[in-house]
Amino acid sequence: MGLSQGVYVTEELHIGVLMFIAHRAAEKRILEALHRAGFTEITMAQARLGARIGPNGTRLNELAEQAQVAKQTATFLVDQLEKAGYAERVPDPTDGRARLVQITEFGKDLLPIARAEEARIDADWTAHIGVRRMKQLREALTMLREITDPY
């Protein structure tokens, strides 16, 4: 049912939607920065999953859970990241039967580009809403992690 067909819409968007819009804009800018730097084959889905790979590697099932995708989807995305040279599967030193997904040295080349764009985003948002509000926003969102982020 479309909006014109009687769905009740409040004038004010829910805070979750507002956070999603800002997050989506930040993700888009970071991916565009990676593409401008020559990493044109990486997709948003790959980047979202890759961003969840920990510094010492992460098991595939944990990546799927954190990204909230099916294990088959995570497997497909890791396969793509491996094929492009950004990630690799290595034995888990704590469990000989398990494997970890790790960022390769080539994949680590993306990190400074992403971090630099994150800094530009922070600067742009701070210029738009002011230093005090940006500090309050960061503090509030950090507090919300206590009840929203199981990772």
Name the residue ranges covered by the structural domains of the chain: 12-39+109-151, 40-104
Task: Report the topology of domain 40-104.
Answer: Arc Repressor Mutant, subunit A (1.10.10)
Q: What pLDDT shows up at residue 79? A: 97
Count helices and strands in the chain by DSSP H and E runs: 7, 2
User: DSSP alpha helices (H): ranges in the chain?
Assistant: 15-36, 44-50, 60-67, 71-84, 105-108, 110-129, 131-148
What is the residue-level pLDDT of the chain in tens, covering all 151 positions?
455 555 566 689 999 999 999 999 999 999 999 999 999 999 999 999 999 999 999 999 999 999 999 999 999 999 999 999 999 999 999 988 899 999 999 999 999 999 999 999 999 999 999 999 999 999 999 999 999 988 7
Q: How far apart are CA 66 and CA 45, in angstroms?
A: 13
